[in-house]
Structure 1
Amino acid sequence: MATQRKNSGQAFPLKTAALAAVAIVLAQGCARTPQQQAPSEATVAAHVAGATRAARSDLTALLTLCKPAPAARPPQAELDKGLAAFIARPAPPPGQAFDNLYFVGADWVSAWAIKTSDGIILIDALNTQAEAAALIEGGMRKLGLDPAQIKYVIVTHGHGDHYGGAPYLAEKYRARVVMSEADWTMTETKLEFATPIWGAPPKRGAGDISAKDGDRVTLGDTSVTLYLTPGHTMGTISPVFDVTSNGQKHRAMLWGGTGFNFGKDVPRLDSYIGATQRMGAIVQTQRIDVLLSNHSNIDGSQAKLAALRQQPAPATNPFVLGTPTVERALAVMGGCAEAQRDRFLLQ
């Protein structure tokens, strides 16, 4: 079992043996089987059919990934117009999903606050400083949390809808920003999506953390394990951590990047497919039974929070899906990625 030194406010990698095991799983997940058929309209249809079967009736929101993705990224004007429309949507109320997990996001993009015995770990920081102030700080206060207790801001990937408010929070509260090395480098050199609508990316400081696969961020009584799940960006992080509901512990994973908005990039889709396969094995081993997203249209978080507000102590928490359902969700995302890869290979 992987261990780490006890030290609130530090992130440490797992033991070498554990990382080696993770590397083996990743290699297995990325490998293509000799029996894999050459891409064709039939293989595309088969992948979509498999994803549809895995989605059943409860995971149909993920099937939007099976729709054909554009081969090129959108023009700047189109990107800016779409982002402005998303940001203009009225924000939902903040809410408590678990005893120790709170939603403090916007309508389109989510931010999650994990309450620990020694402060708060924030996952993602929304589009802009204004949103961070109004929705993260304001939302926390409405929920009885103190924003001054934010000690870490984990940025799941280097797109502005997730890092936009990070510089503001880091400067105001001396919070440490955590991002993968690949995405730190991307935000420091050439942004995948550059737009004045988003806040500037965070500048890496001496106390900030370049996360490696399997690193843990520990604060007080809580550890968050950071898995690299490349695809949406090449440094996407999917955090895994414990939550409790009415005193019962559950294991949660926040899938760090979902859409195929990077154009015709087959190796990147292969990375995404491998990540879903590798994390499927981890979900099974760790009995992960909660799947979260940084976009509420993916995990249905707004409807689930509304249900919890109507019935604060339900018999079952709507965020708890069960391990088999989380595995199916990864199968849907991986199957849709396989369909899109084959579409690109046919072009």
Structure 2
Amino acid sequence: MKKKTLGLLAVSLCLSWGFSMSAVAQDPAKIWLRQGPNKLLDSDAIMAKMDMARDLAGYDYYLSTLQRLQCQDIDETYTIVQTPGVNMGAWKEVPAEPTQVFDNVYYVGGMEVGGWIIDTGEGLIMLDSSYEYGATTILEPNIAALGLNPADIKYILVTHAGPDHFGAVMHFVDNYGTKVVFNRQLAGGPANPPWLQVVPEDMVIMGDGDKLTLGNTTITAVHTPRSYNADGITPGDGLSYFIPVKINGKRHLWATYGNTGLVGTVADKVLYRESMAKWLKYVDALKPDIAISSHPFVDASLDRMEIIRECNDRRGQHKGWNKQECSRNPFVIGRKAARRYFEIMDQCAVVQTMRQEAGINSTGLEELP
């Protein structure tokens, strides 16, 4: 897609004059900011809901990254922002640079999906497990690079049973005796794909408000399904977590939502919003000041990890902690912003539901030749 001078000018004017996105809702420049060089399919009502999501993000880079992806909005180059998508093909996913994110948390996953390692002092807990092939091509090499031992992983927290999250669990169960935390039994059977071969004795079942304690760490789970099971009646899988972390010895709370993607029918999206409403009640009660997705592309986590690595390299060109951006960990966004993070996800679910009800595609745009 081509960049347009008018669009760039409109962005500059909005920024310099302090206009909110919704304040110029009927302005042609505003419409251009929404569609770029594409045909706009969204109705005025849908655009109003999109404006609400944009206003929640404001001009925060990390929250805007989240909003554009969840709402399938356009970026500064007028490119429609969409997820990479789950791909079972081996070697699609590649390792990210392993990074110590907090005192007790490490990123060991790929460019598209975690693992995250939590060190509890009495063993490790891993959040999500990449694809099946990721065990030996991504996770174990990254774990070793940080001086950790995969044999110390006592539990894997699964967010949902997609192959990019659940894929490598059997490798850790079979080789290290790791237990798998999930919200329902996934008894193994020949009809199940490899990532669903976990038998009951290797499962730890958790639900709303249940806690898992290992060492100095207690994690709280919430059941947050995004779609119904095949019967169309019972809610599907999915767990979200509140994980205590430390930064320079000070306690913070990380909230991670288990189902970022919107899938399925309108009824599924209604269920997604019901799950988010329940989750927000826990957010209000527990007051996390960190919100991070298991998918590092969702909220610019890869960019933030790069900042951390540069800040830790005191000898490099970056000059380490002398730079302003090194004065605080970039993942700490505060309680209000952490709540807005999940409000954005909810508001984008409203947008996507309205598009589906209107019979238009999930982007609300049609790319023109």
TM beyond 0.5: yes
**Displacement of 1:56 after TM fit?**
1.1
Mapped to 2, the partners of 1:90 and 1:132 lie a distance apart of 12
1:74 is matched with none
Partner secondary structure for residue 181 of structure 1:
coil
1: CA distance between counterparts of 2:95 and 2:85? 21
Within 2, Cα distance between the matches of 1:51 and 1:275?
Answer: 18
Q: 2:352 aligns with which of 328, 340, 345?
A: 340
- Tell me what 1:16 maps to: none
Contact 1:160 1:201 in 2 (8 A): no
Supply the AA of the counterpart residue of 1:226: A
Cross-structure match for 2:139: 136
Task: Say whether 1:226 aligns with 2:221.
Answer: yes
CA distance, structure 2, for counterparts of residue 339 and residue 89 of structure 1: 29
Counterpart position of 2:208: 213
Task: Sort the Cα spacing of 1:189 and 1:57 in 2 relative to 1 into closer, same or farther, 3 A.
Answer: farther
- Normalised to the residue count of structure 1, the TM-score between the two structures is 0.76
**Runs of 5+ unmatched residues, structure 2:** 1-41, 74-83, 229-235, 313-320, 360-369
Aligned length: 286
On the 8 A contact 1:166/1:202 being kept in 2, the answer is no
Distance of aligned partners of 1:315 and 1:46 in 2 relative to their CA distance in 1, 3 Å threshold: same
Superposed, 1:36-47 pairs within 5 Å as 41-47=43-49
Hey, what does 1:115 align to over in structure 2?
Answer: 119
Structure 1 position 104 matched with structure 2 position 108: yes
Aligned partner letter, 2:201: A
Q: Are the equivalent residues in 2 in contact too, given 1:231–1:257 (CA < 8 A)?
A: yes
CA distance in 1, matches of 2:210, 2:51: 36
Q: In the TM superposition, what is the alpha-carbon distance from 1:49 to its structure 2 partner?
A: 1.1
**Residue type matched to 1:122 in 2?**
M
Alpha-carbon distance change, 201 to 327 in structure 1, aligned in 2, over 3 angstroms: same
RMSD (Å) for aligned C-alpha atoms: 2.5
1:254 and 2:240 matched = no
Instruction: Deviation per CA, 1:143-165: give whole Å up to 9, x if none.
Output: 11111111001111010001110
* Aligned mate of 2:156, from 147, 153, 158: 153
Provide the C-alpha distance between the structure 2 equivalents of 1:322 and 1:189, rounded to a whole number of angstroms: 46
What is the CA distance between 1:275 and its match in structure 2? 2.4
The answer to whether residue 339 in structure 2 is matched with residue 315 in structure 1 is no
* Paired residues of 2:88 and 2:163 also in contact (CA < 8 A): no
Matches within 5 A, 1:185-204: 199-204=194-199
CA distance in 2, matches of 1:334, 1:48: 11
Whole-angstrom CA distance in 2 between matches of 1:105 and 1:172? 19
Q: TM-score, normalised by structure 2?
A: 0.71
Deviation at 1:61, TM superposition (A): 1.6
Give the AA of the match of 1:41: S
Q: Give the counterpart of 1:67 among 55, 66, 72.
A: 72
Taking the aligned partners of 2:299 and 2:216, their CA distance within structure 1 comes to 26
Larger RCO of the pair (alpha carbons < 8 Å, separation 6+): 1
The 8 Å contact of residues 227 and 271 in structure 2, kept in 1 or not, is answered as no
Structure-2 separation of matches of 1:240 and 1:168: 25
Match of 2:342 among 318, 321, 330: 330
Taking every aligned residue pair, what percent have the same amino acid on both sides?
28
* CA gap 1:79/1:275 in 2 versus in 1, 3 angstroms: closer
1:41 is displaced (CA, Å) by 3.2
Asked if structure 1 preserves the Cα contact closer than 8 Å seen for 2:173 and 2:202, the reply is no
Residues 108, 114 of structure 2: 8 Å contact kept: yes
Larger Rg: 2
Structure 1 residue runs without a partner (length 5+)? 1-39, 69-77
Residues 52-89 of structure 1: per-residue CA shift (max 9 Å, x gap): 11011221222222239xxxxxxxxx988x5539x435
CA distance in 1, matches of 2:107, 2:123: 16
Q: Any idea what SS the aligned residue of 1:239 has? A: strand
Cα deviation, residue 112, structure 1: 0.5
CA distance in 2, matches of 1:278, 1:42: 29
- Cα pair distance change 1:189/1:156, threshold 3 Å: farther
Query: Do the aligned partners of 2:257 and 2:293 also contact (CA within 8 Å) in 1?
Result: yes
Secondary structure, aligned partner of 2:298: helix
The answer to whether the Cα contact below 8 Å between 1:232 and 1:257 also exists between their aligned partners in 2 is: no
